[in-house]
Chains A and B, each alone.
Chain A
Amino acid sequence: MISKKYSFPLATLAVAVVAVAAVFVTDIQEASAHKEKHTADQMKAFDEVFMEEVRIGDLLFHGDGATEKKLKVKLSKTAMACAMCHPYASDTHPHEFPKFQEQMNEFVPLRDMINWCIEKPNEGEKIDPNGRAMKALEAYITWSNKNSKLDPGRH
Chain B
Amino acid sequence: MSEHKLLQREVVKTLNPEGDRPDPSTIITRRTFLNRSLMGGAGLAAAGLFPTMSTIEMAFAQGGPSFKFAWVSDTHLYPKEVNTRFVDKTVRAFKEVQAMNPPADFMIFGGDLAQLGDPVEIRLGAELLKEVKIKKVFIPGEHDWYLDMGKTWNNTFGASPWFFDHKGVRFIGLDTVSRADDFWTSRKMSAVDRMGHMATLDGTLGGAWAGLGAEQLKWLSDTMASWGDKPTVIFSHNPLYEYYPNWNFWVRDWRAVHEILKPYSKVTNIHGHTHQVLYNEVGKMRSIGMLATSWPWPYAPEGVPILTKAMVRADPGDPFDGVGWATHSVSPTGRVENEYKMWRKDIFASAAVDDGTADNRNQILTPRIADRP
Binding site for B on A (CB under 8 A): 51, 54-55, 58-59, 62, 64, 78-80, 83-91, 93, 95-96, 103, 117, 120-121, 143-149, 151, 154-155
Contact = CB atoms under 8 A, between A and B. Distances in A.
Nearest to B199: A84
Nearest to B79: A79
A64 B368 CA distance: 14
B86 to A, nearest CB: 9
A144 B362 CA distance: 13
Nearest to B246: A88
A111 B115 CA distance: 29
A64 B370 CA distance: 10
Given A78-B85, A79-B83, A103-B316, A55 B370 contact: yes
Interface in B346-365: 353, 359-360, 362-365
Closest 5 pairs between A and B when the two form their complex, measured CB to CB: A87-B202, A58-B370, A147-B364, A149-B362, A88-B365
A64 B21 CA distance: 46
Contacts of A154: 362
Interface in B331-345: none
B298 A144 contact: no
A84 to B, nearest CB: 7
A83 B298 contact: no
A84 B363 contact: no
A87 B366 contact: no
Contacts of B367: 88
B366 A59 contact: no
B319 interface: yes
Interface string B54-93: 0000000000000000000000001000110100000000
Nearest to B200: A62
Residue of B82, B298, B315, B319 with most chain A CB atoms under a 10 A cut-off: B298
B109 interface: no
Contact of B316 (A54, A85, A95, A144): A85
Interface in B85-141: 85, 115
23 contacts: A58-B368, A62-B200, A79-B78, A79-B82, A79-B115, A80-B83, A80-B295, A83-B201, A86-B298, A87-B201, A88-B246, A88-B368, A90-B300, A90-B360, A90-B363, A91-B360, A103-B316, A121-B316, A143-B366, A146-B366, A148-B363, A149-B364, A151-B362
A89 B246 CA distance: 14
Contacts of B317: 103, 120-121
Contact of B295 (A84, A90, A155): A84
The interface centre, meaning the residue of B78, B83, B300, B353 with most chain A CB atoms within 10 A of its CB, is: B83
A120 B316 contact: yes
Interface in B271-300: 295-298, 300
A141 to B, nearest CB: 11
B362 A148 contact: yes
Contacts of B370: 55, 58-59, 62, 64
A145 B83 contact: no
